[in-house]
Amino acid sequence: MKINRLPVGSYAANCYIVMDDKTKETMVIDPGAEASLINNEIKKMGGKVKYIFLTHGHLDHTGAVSELKELTNALVGINEKDEKAIEKGGYVFGDKNKFGRADIHLKDGDEFQIGDIKINCIETPGHSEGGMCFLLKNVVFTGDTLFEGSIGRTDFEGGDFKVLIDSIKNKLLNLPKETVILPGHGGESRIDYEKMYNPFL
């Protein structure tokens, strides 16, 4: 499994390109801006994009979805609650013209594949109502739910501090302690580190 992290846009939101080594099947997580840059990296890797998945619907994570879909012909997946927030123009949610329409509404427990790699979908509301995390092997992509030493904001539309803490404690902290955390902003961490040192937890 190859993972390429690209901080994109003015908020330096992490876009991840994840590729199965054998088949070159690829998923892109949170293409927030700079579709041509992301597409160029996919081409360098030799990836064939099957899915574009969103951890949530905020503008810094969704701004390049429509353009990247056009370039790759991939299927777009997001939780239905956040797609609805985009459609109604919710504060800090993405522009519906830059997002387009989802092909898949992601739910807790959904499973997908790229090559031999299983994608496990974990619903983690709190930062937004439709927050999702994606577990692939020993790596979990947490979007703006959980960061190194911090957690996502809960003062935006659909945010709820108690719900976010419950999501993290009940859905993420029970993953194997060596699981690598790749968040929506900043650098990586691990489940055991966050359990021990994250002041919010």
CATH number at residue 56: 3.60.15.10
Query: Which helix (DSSP H) or strand (DSSP E) does residue 109 occupy?
Result: none
pLDDT, tens digit (0-9, with 9 covering 90-100), for 85-94? 999 999 999 9
Count of domains for the chain: 1
In terms of Cβ atoms closer than 10 Å to its own Cβ (0-12, 13-18, 19+), residue 11 is middle
What percent of the chain is predicted at pLDDT more than 70? 100
| Region 52-57 average pLDDT | 98
Q: What is the pLDDT of residues 7-21, one digit of tens each?
A: 999 999 999 999 999
pLDDT at 140: 98
Residue 56 has phi, psi (to 5 degrees) of: -170, 180
CA atoms within 13 A on the CB side of 21: 2
User: What residues make up the domain containing 183?
Assistant: 2-197
Half-sphere CA count of 166, side-chain side, radius 13 A: 8
Pairwise CA distance, residues 34 & 9, whole Å: 7
44: confidence class by pLDDT, cuts 50, 70, 90: very high
**Hey, what are 130's tokens?**
């439709």
The percentage of the chain sitting over the pLDDT mark of 90, rounded to a whole number, equals 100
